[in-house]
Amino acid sequence: MTTGFFFDERCFWHGGGNYALTLPVGDLVQPLAAGGLPESPETKRRLKNLMDVTGLTGELEVRSAQPATREALERIHPASLLDQFKEMSDAGGGEIGLRTPFGKGGYEIAALSAGIATDAIRAVASGDLQNAYALSRPPGHHCLPDWPNGFCLLANIAIAIETVKSEGRANRVAVLDWDVHHGNGTEAIYYDRDDVLTISLHQEKNYPLDTGDTSDRGKGDGLGHNINVPLPPGAGHTTYLHAMEKIVLPALADFKPDMIIVACGFDAAAFDPLSRMMATADTFRQMTKQVMGAAQTLCDGKLVLVHEGGYSEAYVPFCGHAVIEELSGSAITAEDPMALSLATRQPNARVQAFFAELVDEMADFFAKPPQGG
């Protein structure tokens, strides 16, 4: 079966507001030449451009989607928030939540982003496609039910999960978030539920500053169904793969999901302005290979990657291309121009051993019955 690729040009038209990186432009902060937040359309558009140039796009089932319906949005978000968002959007835009600016039509674009994730997940859950990549924008994994946050206006993945669950296409869903920032929104939505496993690999205390601890395991029915893997800055390629092998894959095997969804951020990559993790395009390729193996064993290969962060316009396209090559089994490649340099810059053996010890300690912690209520 074919790999799907879901995107829409209109998602690239979402505006980032009057920011310089994550700082509001003001008396002491000058606008950047590029303007706006680092969450710009260019990383995503340049990924699609690279795929077109190499020919990879031609090997995929390319689709767009309809915006998520109001009914679908209200499965996660209160009507009051959606009404406020729509009113501001119709009036020309503004900012709702924290670091979530948008322009006129921002509501419709965010609903389309959620719809792209939903259609990708529905197509795989129904068996129409083997797996898929959703190039959603704006992203969603920081968005709480009643509070947009960190570039994320709607909770794309949660909206999609609840839609396919309402249609009877899936019961147990695992969400693996390897964006460099903690997936606090997805965690919050499913924190007290046992039908969705949430796993977040992230740079420790990057964003948000006060979430993402290993001790946060869920509550009530959800106790033990939330796993946070905070990694120290500079962790690099080997540490990510070790964390996948020791923590993520065993957790997926224990949960036995009907399908696996990856919140696929590329901001753990070297050169990203919002992280210090030293991952490479091959790191993302190898993690994709690992999770594909798990999906094949556990849920007939049903796997969807939904785009989240990643802010290096030059390097994100190579990371995304490597992932989609692996996902589709394509022989088409886009050679990473920084591969040799980044291999040289990885942590030395002593530092890698220290990081491995930290991961092993976390694995031992997660292997024990969770405490709490």
Our answer to whether residue 242 is catalytic in this structure is no
Mean pLDDT, contiguous 10-residue spans, the chain (373 residues): 94 88 86 80 97 98 98 98 98 94 96 98 98 98 98 98 98 98 98 98 98 98 98 98 98 98 98 97 98 98 98 98 98 97 97 98 96 71
Q: How far apart are CA 163 and CA 262, in angstroms?
A: 17
Residue (of 125, 199, 209) closest to 169 by Cα position: 125
CATH of the domain at 218: 3.40.800.20
Q: 3-class DSSP state for residue 23?
A: strand
- Give the alpha-carbon dihedral of 271, 275, 279, 284, to 10 degrees: -100
Q: Which structural domain range is residue 98 located in? A: 3-367
Is the distance from CB of 279 to CB of 320 less than 8 angstroms?
Answer: no
In this prediction, residue 31 carries a pLDDT of: 80
Q: Which residues of 282-291 are buried (b: 16+ CB within 10 A; e: fewer)?
A: bbbbbbbebb
CB 189 within 8 A of CB 76: yes
Mapped onto helix, strand or coil, the DSSP state of residue 18 is coil
- Nearest CA-CA partner of 14 in 92, 86, 115, 110: 110
SS3 129: coil
Tell me, what's the pLDDT at 18?
Answer: 83
The two tokens of residue 177 are 């978030």
Q: What is the DSSP code (8-state) at residue 370? A: P
Q: How far apart are the first and last CA of the chain?
A: 43
190: in domain: yes
Looking at the structure of the chain, the number of domains it has is 1
Distant-in-sequence contacts of 187-192, Cβ < 8 A, 24+ apart: 187/211, 187/216, 187/226, 187/228, 188/144, 188/145, 189/76, 189/144, 189/145, 189/155, 189/158, 190/158, 190/222, 190/225, 190/226, 191/218, 191/219, 191/222, 191/226, 192/218, 192/219, 192/220, 192/221, 192/222
Q: Please report whether residue 170 resides in a domain.
A: yes
pTM comes to 0.97
CA distance 90 to 107: 8
Query: 63: which strand partners?
Result: 6
CB atoms within 10 A of CB 279: 28
pLDDT at 33: 67
Q: List Cβ neighbours of 46 (8 Å cut-off, separation of 6 or more).
A: 313, 316, 317
Selecting among 14, 77, 141, 142, the annotated active-site residue is 142
In DSSP terms, 306 is beta-bridged to 134, 263
Is residue 373 in a domain? no
372 falls within a domain: no
Helix (H) or strand (E) holding 173: strand 173-177
